[in-house]
Structure 1
């Protein structure tokens, strides 16, 4: 836990806090044996006004992909950390651990509005490409096309947008 807190401080993702809010940290074992740093935001989520920004429907996705023959996927690394928290809400993201009280400056994992906030950000970054060149679902971007030359152009368009937005991609995909 100490290593995660230090890393988040060094990356400018969190800062020390004096917040009246405080959610506990949970260390959860991942399927691969590693440990995941999680914050139990159940109490905060219970009083949060929900963001109803829509996710794309599976039917709409399948309709758009119907004629495509080539597909590439890109996965945004630490996607939620690309969403800044409004200064008025930063204190509410506070978490407590044996090393102190800290608050997030970017969207933390486990917050109920993380998914719609990230979906909105992705749609903003890809505003004129979505549904025409690519689809976005959570932190995944699927680029689709009918032929290889147009596919290369579309991949380049998406990569350019991600670079301009400061996004980093996971190399696994």
Structure 2
């Protein structure tokens, strides 16, 4: 699976040891919803983003969220319990007002979105099972950093700051997955 070498960065879950793991009971979905969920799980398995897991202590549920009014469904994992247990990473994200201000005086601007950027960062091996979620056909965990985990933005910002450290503030600005390449002419 392509992605960022874990020696450069990987996502760790720093869980408060005073909080006990929470295993949610599986939600029931109607047949049409099960088909949507299973199709997404098949895509994630094919991309090697997830794997089957057994005996997970932390267990979350899948939820379906409408992308747009009457549009397709987005399959998400509800990590609310896990996120409450994770300690806050104090890594400072860039201030968006400074990000915007830094573009003044530049005539050429190119905006980019690092689509699926979270999924390029591996989860620490010891933390994979903590990202477990349950659906009708089984229990799975993430091998890569999924959308919705606490501190994922901070981990991603750390990565891009390392990669672009010589360019940030000069020809590029980065705010988590949003990137801006700038030039005066």
Taking structure 2 as the reference length, the TM-score comes to 0.75
Matched residue, 1:45: 83
**1:71 pairs with 2:109:** yes
Structure 2 CA distance for aligned equivalents of residues 141 and 124 of structure 1: 14
- How far does the alpha carbon of each residue in 1:25-64 deviate from its partner, in whole angstroms, 9 at most, with x for none? 0011111601101111110001001112211113322442
Q: Is the 8 A contact 2:99 2:175 kept in 1?
A: no
**1:142 pairs with 2:180:** yes
- How far does the alpha carbon of each residue in 1:1-41 deviate from its partner, in whole angstroms, 9 at most, with x for none? 11111111111100001222110000111116011011111
Structure 1 CA distance for aligned equivalents of residues 100 and 73 of structure 2: 36
Q: CA RMSD in A?
A: 1.3
Q: Give ranges in structure 1 of 5+ residues lacking alignment.
A: 148-173
Structure 1 CA distance for aligned equivalents of residues 51 and 91 of structure 2: 28
**1:29 pairs with 2:66:** yes
- How far does the alpha carbon of each residue in 1:46-96 deviate from its partner, in whole angstroms, 9 at most, with x for none? 100111221111332244222212100111121110111111111111111
Length, aligned pairs only: 147
Matched residue, 1:11: 47
Alignment map for 1:1-173 (pairs within 5 Å): 1-18=37-54, 19-31=56-68, 33-147=71-185
Structure 1 CA distance for aligned equivalents of residues 60 and 100 of structure 2: 39
Q: Give ranges in structure 2 of 5+ residues lacking alignment.
A: 1-36
In the TM superposition, structure 1's runs of 4+ consecutive aligned residues that sit over 3 Å from their partners are none
SS in 2 for 1:7: helix
